[in-house]
Amino acid sequence: MPKNLIPVNGRPLLEYVLEEAVSCGIKEVVLIVSPKHREDFGAYIKKNQKKFPTLTFSIRVQETPGGNGHALTKAYDIVENEPFAVRFCDDILLGDPPALRGLLDLFDRYRASIVLLERVPKNKVSRFGVIGFKKTRKYRSFWGGKIYQIKKIIEKPKKKDAPSNLIIVGGYVLTPDILRNLKIVADTLPVVADDALPLAVALQIDLVLKKKLYGWEFPGRRLDCGTLEKLQEAEKILQKK
**Per-residue pLDDT at 192:** 84
**Per-residue pLDDT at 168:** 95
Q: 56: domain range? A: 3-240
CB 2 within 8 A of CB 41: yes
Q: Mean pLDDT for each consecutive 10-residue tract of the chain (241 residues)?
A: 92 96 95 96 95 96 94 94 94 88 93 95 92 81 82 92 94 96 92 88 92 92 90 91 69
Q: Would you call 108 helix, strand, or coil by DSSP?
A: helix
Length of the chain equals: 241
Q: Would you call 33 helix, strand, or coil by DSSP?
A: strand
pTM assigned to the model: 0.92
Overall number of domains in the chain = 1
Return d(Cα 178, Cα 24) in angstroms, integer: 22
Distance (Å) of CA 188 to CA 60, 86, 182, 183: 21, 24, 10, 9
Which CATH number do you get for residue 110?
A: 3.90.550.10
Return d(Cα 128, Cα 118) in angstroms, integer: 10
**Per-residue pLDDT at 227:** 87
Tens of pLDDT, residues 222-237: 999 988 899 999 999 9
**Per-residue pLDDT at 228:** 87
What amino acid is encoded at 64 in this protein?
T
CB 8 within 8 A of CB 238: yes
Distance (Å) of CA 65 to CA 6, 176, 184, 191: 20, 22, 18, 12
Tens of pLDDT, residues 25-50: 999 999 999 999 999 999 999 999 99
